[in-house]
Structure 1
């Protein structure tokens, strides 16, 4: 399964306490102070499992369902910064493959991504945005092959998030926001982005030897505009993998770095009664980040 720091569940609870935050008598559970219940839940969880924690509680409508009401989800993949940059030419030699070169560079000196390097990663991520056939990015296969509509997904945004240093290693947050994702889709997208940003696929060519020929477009933005600092070969490789008629074997990035960051309830937020709390839980964002790093 996927790790999560933004998972939302719906449940019927009898809250502890029972007094409103403003001191008046509680009416049908609205505005009741949830702090005692939150503390009791986490105290019980701490005795059973350190990996599960409740970050917030919000009152919802009686018919609300956390599973079916979710309109989109945002996932975060934490990847070492050195995986997203080309290895030092002084390290990369003809008898050393790029994977070994990147590993050697990581040992000899790690650093955060520069502004230009972040732009290159964002350029690769931007190509994945919009509606595409992601049949090459999942192990699940549609009944009609690559052309099957079940292979289509809409990526709302894909971008570089904050960088952070943990245990002496610099990590980059890759944020994927979409309506839904297929099995292993994010892990394979991350591999493709890392390969493009690190120039690991600069020798890529299509079957006919013409880079970019026959590759799908990228919505209203031209491939050149969306690619930014990407090489033509790297841009072509991503577009090639998004082509309906192509079949490409893409490795999966490790699952341990993938985290469900947030669930979005756009329809509920529009229709929720006035005064009900939002389900974005923005007030616990600091706790989310701390929990991830723990």
Structure 2
């Protein structure tokens, strides 16, 4: 029968959601668990087209999800489907439940909007935090007006050995709890309003060719519609203060959200003028945009408003309403602690901030 399966997972250690031969992916582990649980026949295992497999969103390497949706034709009987599948999955991947859907349902094609959350440490918004007086890494495109700022991946390759020992030119550390004491910076109502105002630059229909990669500016797929983008209140995980940045849009391109956050942080810290957004959306302009670390990003929910309205009388809603408690627990026990502990251990955001400099983004 055609069903929609609701899944939560931590993307740590995975090369993304989408199956990719030779790589460890969420879909790969989920498909194998479904097969072992008897939900996929041996004759169709390994060929997603035969079971009409579809995912709502293709999360990238290291990116987590609280409310991913996968649809397909699976055997759900006898009772105990969820428990059987979870028994074959690692703890960082959990099937929450499922609902029966129409025969033509597609988790990808019928998803109206997708909501993502980016959890940003407050110290990253402090203009005085993690400054480097003389940046040692050149812009990726020195001939451009704006060179690409260094990403967390670039610093990782240059400064950290496979054992985790820092060997590079600087040794940034996480200052989750020391920022307020050292600089006097606090993220209150005024700062929250300022960050939300910056994020509002993305709302509406825009051309995001500068917020992805390997796509030409004239490609029509770069036009995307963002419904809302807001900064939330400060909350604390393991002694570290964070702020949620929540974006809702129809669909997103590769690295788009991480680059939107990256540029917003650069503007918030005073490393780029707010007028940069006008240039970033111009199709005749190619600029470098900093890409925030993958660590803070996760898919929060996939929304099916039109489908639910159309089939309200014959099918159950495709929504997370029945799993709010389980999702809240997964965020609290898995996703948020991983973000905080990884930052405390590896200083991912701290390293990334060393690449944000005013020299890269002139007025």
Is the TM value for this pair above 0.5? yes
TM-score (norm 1): 0.70
> What CA distance in whole angstroms lies between the structure 1 residues aligned with 2:288 and 2:310?
44
Deviation at 1:67, TM superposition (A): 2.1
Q: Which residue of 1 aligns with 2:194?
A: 120
1:52 aligns with 2:93: yes
> What CA distance in whole angstroms lies between the structure 2 residues aligned with 1:258 and 1:135?
20
Number of equivalences = 233
Secondary structure (helix, strand or coil) at the match of 1:277 reads: coil
Q: Is the radius of gyration larger for structure 1 or structure 2? A: 1
Cα 1:163–1:275 change in 2 (3 A) is farther
Cα 1:57–1:176 change in 2 (3 A) is same
8 Å CA contact retained: 1:56, 1:281: no
> Please, which of 66, 71, 77 is the counterpart of residue 10 of structure 1?
71
> What CA distance in whole angstroms lies between the structure 2 residues aligned with 1:156 and 1:197?
21
Q: Which runs of 5+ in 2 are unaligned?
A: 1-15, 17-58, 136-149, 151-169, 335-363
Deviates more, 1:118-127 or 1:166-175: 166-175
Q: Which residue of 2 aligns with 1:134?
A: 208
Alignment of 1:134-283 (within 5 A): 134-142=208-216, 146-201=217-272, 233=273, 235-274=274-313, 276-283=315-322
Secondary structure (helix, strand or coil) at the match of 2:251 reads: coil
> What CA distance in whole angstroms lies between the structure 2 residues aligned with 1:7 and 1:57?
11
8 Å CA contact retained: 2:192, 2:232: no
Q: Deviations over 1:69-106 (max 9, x none)?
A: 21221111111111123327xx97x9477x99x97864
Deviation at 1:147, TM superposition (A): 3.4
> What CA distance in whole angstroms lies between the structure 2 residues aligned with 1:5 and 1:66?
15
Deviation at 1:41, TM superposition (A): 2.8
Q: Which residue of 1 aligns with 2:82?
A: 38
Alignment of 1:67-82 (within 5 A): 67-82=108-123
Deviation at 1:285, TM superposition (A): 2.5
1:61 aligns with 2:129: no
> What CA distance in whole angstroms lies between the structure 2 residues aligned with 1:238 and 1:96?
26
1:87 aligns with 2:161: no
> What CA distance in whole angstroms lies between the structure 2 residues aligned with 1:57 and 1:128?
34
> What CA distance in whole angstroms lies between the structure 1 residues aligned with 2:106 and 2:133?
57
Runs of 4+ in 1 over 3 A off after TM superposition: 94-97, 102-107, 109-112
8 Å CA contact retained: 1:140, 1:182: no
Cα 1:189–1:256 change in 2 (3 A) is same
Deviation at 1:51, TM superposition (A): 1.3
CA RMSD across the alignment:
2.8
Deviation at 1:255, TM superposition (A): 1.3
TM-score (norm 2): 0.58
Q: Which residue of 1 aligns with 2:361?
A: none
8 Å CA contact retained: 1:112, 1:163: no
